Amino acid sequence: MSECFGIDIGGSGIKGAPVDLSRGDLAKKRKRVETPQPATPEAVVAAVAAIVEGFSYRGPVGCALPSVVRDGEVRSAANIDPSWIGVAGEKLFCERLGQPVRLLNDADAAGLAEMRYGAGRDERGVVLLLTFGTGIGSALFHKGKLVPNTELGHAHFRGMEAEDYAAARLVEREDMKIDWWASRVNELLHHFEQLFSPDLIVFGGGISKRFDDFSQHLTTRARLVPAALRNNAGIVGAALAANKLA
């Protein structure tokens, strides 16, 4: 198919749109709603259905969720309600939407998009994509193949979870100065470099649009570039994953 629908579910917002897969771009202006609080399965699925139905779309749908997803089952819950854990999420979305659904980790979706259309295109080495937002997401690729569900934002770093140390919310909601925040990010990048020795690090998430404001504080051995698809990567990658259902 040349067009599929992508949904990106985050801790603060849910956004979606049909995606033109020939271009790797949104076919129509995306729609965004606030993530329900609490973000229970029933509430989130209803919000997703409202977005999809608002476009009168019929066909495969990809949903990117801030969770470990294995065989359609949700195995963790980051910035969404813990009642998601153990839910057959893919089946739940399929039943509510009445159309085929592919459920996957949100950062993995963003990584798929960047590897196909964006900053990681044609890169055959080790690529690490990190998304900085409410939390920190990660996607790891080797020779173009995804290693799913890495969830490096929940790795322990300096006595806490990595995302509590360096998520973009510290700047956007808690008023941390961006240069101070960037110095923390730099420490984290060095740690991940020690673990994975990437050839390329792609810096994603909403704050990546300000990359030029803080990139001088980031001193990685690997090439470091901002995500090309910026905050639409999750939508595009989810749609790309759903295309396999067509």
Residue 203 reports pLDDT greater than 80: yes
Percent of the chain at pLDDT > 90 equals 91
pLDDT in tens, 170-192: 998 888 999 999 999 999 999 99
Best CA proximity match to 57, nearest among 13, 26, 103: 26
Residue 225 reports pLDDT greater than 90: yes
Q: What angle do CA 118, 208, 44 make, to 5 degrees?
A: 85
Q: Are 239 and 1 in contact (CB under 8 A)?
A: no
- Mean of the per-residue pLDDT values for the chain? 96
CATH 3.30.420.40 residue ranges of the chain are 3-108+233-245, 122-227
Q: What angle do CA 182, 185, 186 make, to 5 degrees?
A: 90
Q: DSSP assignment, residue 9?
A: E
Residue 1 reports pLDDT greater than 80: no
The pLDDT, as a whole number, for residue 11 is 85
Domain 122-227 -> CATH class? alpha beta
| Residues 6 or more apart in contact with residue 64 via CB below 8 angstroms | 6, 7, 8, 9, 104, 105, 106, 108, 109, 110, 234, 235, 237, 238
Residue 78 reports pLDDT greater than 90: no
Q: What is the Cα 102 distance to its own chain's centre?
A: 14
pLDDT in tens, 20-66: 999 999 999 999 999 999 999 999 999 999 999 999 999 999 999 99
Superfamily of domain 3-108+233-245: ATPase, nucleotide binding domain (3.30.420.40)
The pLDDT, as a whole number, for residue 134 is 86
The pLDDT, as a whole number, for residue 231 is 84
pLDDT band with cut points at 50, 70 and 90 for residue 3: very high
Mean pLDDT calculated for residue range 214-236: 96
The pLDDT, as a whole number, for residue 201 is 98
pLDDT in tens, 129-173: 999 988 999 999 999 999 999 999 999 999 999 999 999 999 988
The pLDDT, as a whole number, for residue 82 is 97
Residue 208 reports pLDDT greater than 80: yes
The pLDDT, as a whole number, for residue 164 is 96
The pLDDT, as a whole number, for residue 234 is 95
Residue 92 reports pLDDT greater than 90: yes
